[in-house]
Amino acid sequence: MTDPLFPASGPTPPAPGRRPRAPEAPEELHPAQAFLLRLWTDYRTPVLAGLLMLLALALAISHYGRTQRVRTQEAAIRLNAAATLYNRVVLDRGISREDAERSLRDAITYCDDVRDQYPGTPAAHLALYVKGSCHFERLYHYVGTGEQERSLEYLDQAIAAFREYGEEATGNHDRAKGLIAEASCYENRAFITNDSELMRTAITRLDEAARLGQGSYLEAQALISRARCLEGLGQRDEARLTYEQVIRQRASLAQQRAQGLFSLSTPGGYNDLA
């Protein structure tokens, strides 16, 4: 007789009147399932580590993107402050020289801060152009005051800023823009010092700017400035030819645009103009 507190070891006998159930055969896995199971069993630790690394990398990239957006916005705000000070001086021609100098100096400080604290942002590059414009505007308030040395100092600082702007530019448009501004400084320096060689330097810069800005308004701007420099050198006939070249080019461009907008053969043209 079996003790109920200490049953005998071994399988439990089937209940009376029931047939014993045969043990279930293990389910056979598909080869692909077996491969994945073996892969997970053997490599789950490095797989989990790799997934965690990918997650950490994604979070780092997201954080970097947010940081860059914040830096770009902060740089734009500072540069906007510099541009506001510059525009205040330009628009208020009744401003005293002391107030103008103070505002432009503060604007230049903002530009330097953008360059130092936010390198690589679009505002950092544009800050060079604003800085050069501020130095050039400082010249305006000292022309005719007898302080030629200070005027030339401001011009040299403007030339350096515009040259660096052009050198850092990644496209022809910005390169041409920097060359035109730099040439304008050389032109003014030539007038102040009566140095014809500086005027020729300006013409060289303008020729390159016209080439880079071909087909855009910058080409016309460069050619007009070139003609003005030729006048300064006494080459009036060549200056007149350059002015005529600009007129022909702009007239041709205006005609092309008009034909594109109003031609009957142009889709969307105004058919009632015939």
| 32 φψ region: left (φ > 0), alpha (ψ -120 to 50), beta (else) | alpha
Q: Residue 212: its pLDDT value, please?
A: 94
Instruction: Using DSSP, state whether 17 is helix, strand or coil.
Output: coil
Higher-pLDDT residue of 59 and 3 is 59
How far apart (Å, rounded) are the C-alpha atoms in residues 123 and 74? 9
Q: What is the mean pLDDT of residues 173-191?
A: 94
Tell me the per-residue pLDDT of 71-116, one tens digit each, with 9 for 90 and over: 889 999 999 999 999 999 988 878 888 899 999 999 999 999 999 9
Q: Is the CB of residue 187 less than 8 Å from the CB of residue 206?
A: no
Structural Rg of the chain based on CA atoms? 38
How far apart (Å, rounded) are the C-alpha atoms in residues 181 and 243? 19
Tell me the per-residue pLDDT of 107-146, one tens digit each, with 9 for 90 and over: 999 999 999 999 988 999 999 999 999 999 988 777 656 6
Q: Which residues contact 169 (CB under 8 A, 6 or more apart)?
A: 125, 175, 177, 178
How far apart (Å, rounded) are the C-alpha atoms in residues 178 and 124? 15
Residue ranges covered by each domain of the chain: 169-259
How far apart (Å, rounded) are the C-alpha atoms in residues 202 and 65? 42
The model carries a pTM of 0.68
DSSP code at position 4: T
pLDDT beyond 90 at 201 = yes
3-state helix, strand, coil in the chain (%, to 5): 75, 0, 25
How far apart (Å, rounded) are the C-alpha atoms in residues 130 and 111? 7
**Residue 111 phi, psi dihedral angles, 5° rounding:** -60, -40
Tell me the per-residue pLDDT of 45-71, one tens digit each, with 9 for 90 and over: 666 666 667 766 776 666 666 677 888
